[in-house]
Structure 1
Amino acid sequence: MVQIENEYGSYNCDKKYLGFLRDLFKKLLGDEVALYTTDGPEENMMKCGTVEGVFPTVDFRPVPENVINQFFNLQQKYSKGGPMVNSEFYPGWFTMWGMKTGYRPTTKEVIDAMTVMYNLNASFTIYLMHGGTNYGFWNGAEPEGAIMTSYDWGAPISENGEIRPMYLAIQNWIKKFPNWDHPPMSVPKNNRVKAYGKIKVKKVKSLLKSFLTSNQKCYESVLPLSFEALDHPYGFGVLVDNLEKYSKKWISLSAKKGDILTIIVENRGRQTYLSILDSKRVLVDNLEKYSKKWISLSAKKGEILTIIVENRGRQTYLSILDSKGLLPNVTLDGRIITNWIQCPVNFDETSKIINATPSQIALLNSLEKPFSPVDKSAGVYMGAFEIEGQIADTWFNPGKFRKGQLFINGNNVGRYWPSA
């Protein structure tokens, strides 16, 4: 079986598109392959997400028996009496930043729903059976917010491979059925886990200096460019402007939904970090709540305005082009600020400050106050620990660090954000 679309009925209702996919898959794979779609168990979703010649399936979480019957009745309506199939049966759900945890049904609710489906002679796939991790900037986002750096899901097998009680309950449930073609095997031991203790870290570079020396090239434009125009799909961008023409202090930001800003105003070695929400220099909420409001900014004529934009993740659906960046412009007292220098931050590059270009050095000299390793503001902090003996699983606890990006041996592990 090959799936040609996923929950398309939640997005659009274009039968020509679905027919094109059907014909393309048949041309490439042949008529012996069974094609199917997956949609939510609602009338309009099934109506728009299905197409003639492709088997329709549904997806849903543990619900009462009468609701399961309703869902499969709807699916059979569009499958013309075909088999009942739940192609995504959810034993949990992802978690977004700002949530304590995602949807977590009880083990009993999962087993009860599986029993109902089995008694109906329905087929189902547990999604996810094994939790995962979204490394680097690959977390993605929903319309409500960005997904955290984990896809553990509350799955029967955790993201580090640990066997959970739900897994054992599912295994015991299967063992109750006689003549099962492939009875469950014995469960292996969980991976070793170990705490490596506290790690001392030292600030080695300011955040701004690290950002401006990690990229390959900065770009000049009249108005801010999107991340797409900069060919910079993920992560951070730095925008710099000299406020030579502006002398007042009210700034209006028009950034895209879900982005985060850190605003820095610099003059004569002084840096002011402006936060929209709190006094600790970190914006911890969706920008769309604030982007249409005026913000008081302690800026004077001739000072340097630097804005660090963080792309928290692109939406998984509802947006064909989820543009990121400071769009369409920034205004100061109603006047559009023009002539920007924009630097995409490339974490794949390992360039150091000693290898910075003359233009980067000049830009840094105009922006940076003298670097101090004991300064506790945003920056790059490094530490080390050694693993002796057998390798074991471990977890990172950021301690008093409120938000950041974790790298281990140069690999971007992902975002940490306990303050969210």
Structure 2
Amino acid sequence: MTTLSRILVLSILSLILSLTSCSTNDEEATIPEPSTIKNAADLNAYLQELVQTSSMPGMAISIVKGDNIVFQESFGYANIQNQVAYTNETVNSIASISKTFVGAAVAKAIEQGYFTLETDINDILPIPVINPKQPEGVIKIKHLVTHTSGLLDTPEVYLAHNYHILPGEDIATAGAGLLMDEIGIVQRQSYSLEEFLANYFLEDGDLYSLDNFADTPPGSTWNYSNLATGLSGYIVETATEQSFDDYVRQNILQPLQMNASTYDISEINTDEMATRYINEDTPLPVYANDSYPEGSMYTTNEDMGKYLLDMVKGIKGESTTLFSKDTYELLFDPQLAAGTVPPDFAENHGLFWYFQDGKVLHGGNSFGISTHLEIGQNGNYGFILITNMDASFSGNTQNYSAVKEKVTKAIIEFLKATE
């Protein structure tokens, strides 16, 4: 597993990596190596074999080269038990790749003049958020988007109090029992973004703790934080006087014609979503998280192809669909002083996008969801992998990593062959 993927998983799910593996297959023994891939047909055949010989339920892949989507296919099952095929129109959440949409929303709000990267977040928030360990520290927008705010995830709180099984879901299943008994997730209605964040970051909140804060000045230390990302979404919401999901829909999804995508799960027929799996025999109930901007974009491979294509063009300075060229540049401009990010994690990053080894990327992992988005830093290619495969439990983490490595190798072979 790459260091980047490992840290992303640990930052979200460190509580459950110590649990017994739910994996049933030895992926290293069964996953084929990419053979010589000369064209899209070869790639398609290899990926079909990969799904059949791994424990991955289903996956979808889009590849951009130049100014075109050159490959967009789906494989396996959205629901194994009912033999429902995974298609380019299958709705799947994308976990932490959702953070790139928060980055885009922040960039758009900056372009519209609501704030800047240097703005003190307490100049916007209705009630100040203060780090009790650094009460004089000024937390700025740029600290939130670079994970240097000093606002931390407390894993037990983040998992058990943020995630929840939706009302109406069957909680008598093995998958529901795993989430409820092992993780502490309950079945309930969702809280508003404002209510959840207030409970976590304000001193009179039920979830408030000194553990929610680092004893480091803002901007000095990198700590991946889902809830600081959720706070970024709330700041956009507060500044624009528009719900975050509506703001993203109006300013990002609609201009890209991502008509099947939403942060609002109530807009989705959950019976038609990809079922999330711990393993092939253990489907999960539909769940959500209150800090939704950071992990709950629901979308399709077809829609993400549109997003990927625009990001690739934006990196090259060839798009003005969402922003001006200067704002695309801001989105991908390195924001941190050298050495701020752990060197084995990333070289730097922009507005939630990471830079590593000539690539701009982000990954996502949650219960029964594993995703990866990667773009060449010069904009020469990009691809996204979306799956309903788990990478949260320890054995599953290794299995997904093995699959992702093979997918990436196959895609690189395809891109080289089609130069």
* TM-score, normalised via structure 1 length: 0.20
* TM-score, normalised via structure 2 length: 0.20
Q: Write 1 or 2 for the structure with the bigger share of strand.
A: 1
Higher relative contact order (CA closer than 8 Å, sequence separation 6+): 2
